[in-house]
Amino acid sequence: MSAHENPLLEDCLLEIGCEELPAREQLPIRDAAAEQIARLLDEAGLDYGQITAYVTPRRLALWIRDVALHSRPRESIRRGPPVERARDASGKVTPAAAGFARSCGVPFEDLHTLDTEKGPVLAWREIEAARSSYSLLPEIASQTIAALPLRKRMRWGSRQDSFLRPVRWLLLRQGQQVLDWQAFGLQAGGESFGHRVHHPAAIPIERISEYAAALMHGQVMADFALRRSHIASKISALAEDLRAKPLLPPALLDEITGLNEWPVILMGSFAEDYLRIPEEVLITVMMQHQRYVPLRGENGQLLAQYLFAANLQSQDAQAVIHGNNRVLRARLADAAFFWDQDRQKSLAERRPELQHVLFQEGLGSIYDKTLRLQKLVRALSPLCQASANDLERAAALCKSDLLSGVVGEFPELQGIMGGHYARHDGEKPDVAAAIAQHYLPNGREDDTPQSRAGQCLAIADKLDTLCGFFAIGQVPSGDRDPFALRRAALGVLRIILDAGLTLHLDAAVALTLEALDRNIVKDPTALSIAVLDFFQDRMRVYFKEEGFRGDQINAVLSRQPHQVLDARQRLEALATFFAEHPSAEALAALIKRINNLLRKEHREVTGEPDPQRFEEPAERQLWAHWQAMAESVHTHLRQGQYASALDLLAGLRPSVDQFFDQVMVMAENPEIRQNRLALLSRLQDSFLGIADFAQIQGS
């Protein structure tokens, strides 16, 4: 029954109005606000219906449907001393029991007995009276705002309370009742406010359910998803009129949505001469610095037009367009100047200057890093199937663009600009590609390098950073990772997996440590173990995010953990086997039984079983069954055909079942016992070629 039908239910509306909220923080605080108020309403015992959260640059609002006018009466039980200690030997009430009764505010005779796991105890049942939602909601509102995960709070005026931006108004209503809520030096009212320019006056909310519609009349699109959809459709329609494709990734669309309460899409332009600048520069200036939407023409080239959202319906749209064009023109003029100046000096000529640029205290200059990279990529080149000479040249030049004007102005283009300068300098295509790609991937959404040289140089660069920082003791701890080493490790893993490289991490880490200064690497063995453990932790996280079970990940990584591609292939085969094979769980239980028996034998079981020592038909049958398939199983394992190997091994289950039913493995005769354990050990070895089944939990 809704609030419209039940007089004991009324909708609630909470709004906090403020100066412009950072676009990137709006969705997190909107979602957190809905979660927090739901939790607090539950804790207060207030029944409620659906929660709708709104966020715009100047407001955060929550519409909670069907909030009960009173909280549920709640029963609480207070436990006292054990009943056996309530009276002494003479039957007199003990001080402990009398004290408990006083604390409950009742005579001893009114206490109850409660049965617990430790025996009966004295108890008192209290019924908390229902409380008015009008009295509960103001505190719930304050706690909701205080619990928001704000990255950086600010204070204004002389007040001590803080928020993401200065708060200008508060609204808290239940039904038609304005609730007594005070925060940030303000008293909550029952009205909202419209667009800063178009409708700065107060907006009365006749009914809470009409909140979004009322704001729409005040030229504010309160619903983030509706505003986002509106912007996307307008941009798409305008781009289609121009026969162009807008470059509008989801993150940019979210940011534009977070910057506008009343978005109006307009088209700007710039001089076509600026199209001679590398398009990555143009896109960076437009997207990241101005939040504009670049346009790509039918020929795949950028157009000298762009789209942008204005946060108002101007009477003179051309003036708004002209202002944006002027700002963009200034940024592009700077970029063009740097682009022209940078090409007057080659990357090779810039390289010696890197000796004066510190990479990290204890790890030398960036020039020193390029020397290490040259040595490392030459060693890694056969493993990555790339030209050692091209890689060494790319490693020497890959950091030189850090001294260029464009990268100085736009640091996010490091590497990318190096690729452009290398092509201008006449370097080989593979060298230029490796330089351009060697920072990839920078984040989870970035692509990995596409060329073999780029993959090898990117892996080397990240390994050098990881091992170097570990060597000087700068290891991530908890949430702290100031040098983004987790991102570097994840980048190495992604490159290996995306490129299908059969690179062994232990060998790659060993080569990296060899390239480091011997004065830094005090204990190579301990350092290698620490770095490889760090990689294993990243692999666990990455594979779990891909949807694999934690126990299966551990089972796989406990066997051959340093060949990343092979580990993924074994994990995929194992996951499919347990998802699709009807006897997988039973077979895993049998393998665990084998493991337990072999563990009980306090010495290593070695050698092949002797068929002449088999006494029971069941052990002869299992041996014959294994002999018939052993060669095929080993071939599948060598070739990485793990699914096929598991299918074959699953066929052993009837023979293994019969073996355990009819054969006493731990026979008193040590020779017979060893022979039977040797048979089981051969089976165990094959399963261990894929995973340690002992670590797999039942479904």
Token duo for residue 658:
């019969």
Token duo for residue 306:
């762009």
- The 10s digit of each residue's pLDDT in 563-586 is 999 999 999 999 998 888 887 787
- One-character DSSP codes across 42-91: HHHT-----EEEEEETTEEEEEEEEEESBPPPEEEEEEEEEGGGSB-TTS
The rounded distance, in Å, linking the Cα atoms of 290 and 288 is 6
Q: What is the SS3 assignment for 215-241?
A: HHHCCCCCCHHHHHHHHHHHHHHHHHH
- The 10s digit of each residue's pLDDT in 440-473 is 998 888 899 999 999 999 999 999 999 999 999 9
Q: Is residue 335 situated within a structural domain?
A: yes
Residues 30 and 165 in one domain: yes
Q: Is the pLDDT of residue 654 over 90?
A: no
What whole-number percentage of the chain has pLDDT above 90?
69
- The 10s digit of each residue's pLDDT in 132-141 is 999 999 999 9
Per-residue pLDDT band at 3 (split at 50, 70, 90): low
Residues 101 and 183 in one domain: no
pLDDT value at position 157? 83
Q: Is residue 521 situated within a structural domain?
A: yes
Q: Is residue 419 situated within a structural domain?
A: yes
Closest among 320, 319, 296, 294 to 307, alpha carbons compared: 294
pLDDT value at position 429? 96
Start-to-end CA distance of the chain, whole Å, equals: 41
Residues 30 and 169 in one domain: yes
Q: Is the pLDDT of residue 233 over 90?
A: yes
Token duo for residue 441:
């991937």
Cα 545 from chain centroid (whole Å): 8
Residues 574 and 593 in one domain: yes
Per-residue pLDDT band at 80 (split at 50, 70, 90): confident
Residues 154 and 233 in one domain: no
Contact 264, 313 (CB under 8 A): yes
How many structural domains comprise the chain? 5
241 or 670, which is more confident?
241
Domain that holds residue 112: 74-128
Q: What is the mean pLDDT of residues 121-139?
A: 88
Per-residue pLDDT band at 522 (split at 50, 70, 90): confident
Least confident range of 43-47, 386-390, 484-488, 660-664:
660-664
Q: What is the mean pLDDT of residues 411-431?
A: 97
Closest among 565, 533, 539, 566 to 553, alpha carbons compared: 539
Residues 137 and 18 in one domain: yes
Q: Is residue 364 situated within a structural domain?
A: yes
Residues 446 and 333 in one domain: no
Q: Is residue 559 situated within a structural domain?
A: no
Element (H, E) at 27: helix 23-44
Closest among 317, 298, 297, 315 to 306, alpha carbons compared: 297
Residues 260 and 228 in one domain: yes
pLDDT value at position 308? 97
Residue owning tokens 């091209």: 390
- One-character DSSP codes across 252-266: HHHHHHHH-SS-EEE
Residues 406 and 501 in one domain: yes
Q: What is the mean pLDDT of residues 283-312?
A: 96
The rounded distance, in Å, linking the Cα atoms of 200 and 218 is 8
Q: What is the mean pLDDT of residues 304-311?
A: 97
Contact 18, 168 (CB under 8 A): yes
- The 10s digit of each residue's pLDDT in 338-361 is 999 999 999 999 999 999 999 999
Residues paired with residue 76 on neighbouring β-strands, in sequence order? 126
Dihedral sign of CA atoms 43, 49, 50, 56 in order: negative
Q: Is residue 551 situated within a structural domain?
A: no
Q: pTM here?
A: 0.82
Per-residue pLDDT band at 602 (split at 50, 70, 90): low
Last residue of a domain, one of 128, 145, 166: 128
Any alpha helices (H) in 313-451, and if so which ranges? 317-342, 347-350, 366-384, 388-397, 405-409, 416-425, 429-437
The rounded distance, in Å, linking the Cα atoms of 434 and 460 is 11
Residues 395 and 328 in one domain: no
- The 10s digit of each residue's pLDDT in 492-519 is 999 999 999 999 999 999 999 999 988 8
Q: Assign residue 646 a region: left if phi > 0, alpha if psi is -120 to 50, beta otherwise?
A: alpha
Q: Is residue 404 situated within a structural domain?
A: yes
Q: Is the pLDDT of residue 613 over 80?
A: yes
pLDDT value at position 603? 60
Q: Is the pLDDT of residue 333 over 60?
A: yes
Amino acid letter for position 217: H
Least confident range of 32-36, 269-273, 569-573, 668-672:
668-672
Q: What is the mean pLDDT of residues 613-624?
A: 86
Q: Is the pLDDT of residue 595 over 80?
A: no
Residues 395 and 522 in one domain: yes
pLDDT value at position 698? 64
439 or 698, which is more confident?
439
Per-residue pLDDT band at 118 (split at 50, 70, 90): confident
Q: What is the mean pLDDT of residues 270-297?
A: 96
Last residue of a domain, one of 172, 198, 217: 217
Residues 594 and 610 in one domain: yes
Q: What is the mean pLDDT of residues 580-603?
A: 76
Q: What is the mean pLDDT of residues 195-217?
A: 95
Last residue of a domain, one of 82, 99, 128: 128
Q: What is the mean pLDDT of residues 71-92?
A: 84
CATH number at residue 435: 1.10.3210
Average pLDDT, the chain: 92
Token duo for residue 226:
């509706």
Q: What is the mean pLDDT of residues 417-430?
A: 97
Helix (H, G, I), strand (E, B) or coil at 662: helix
Q: What is the mean pLDDT of residues 6-12?
A: 86
Q: Is residue 448 situated within a structural domain?
A: yes
Q: Is the pLDDT of residue 600 over 80?
A: no
CATH number at residue 581: 1.10.730
pLDDT value at position 477? 87
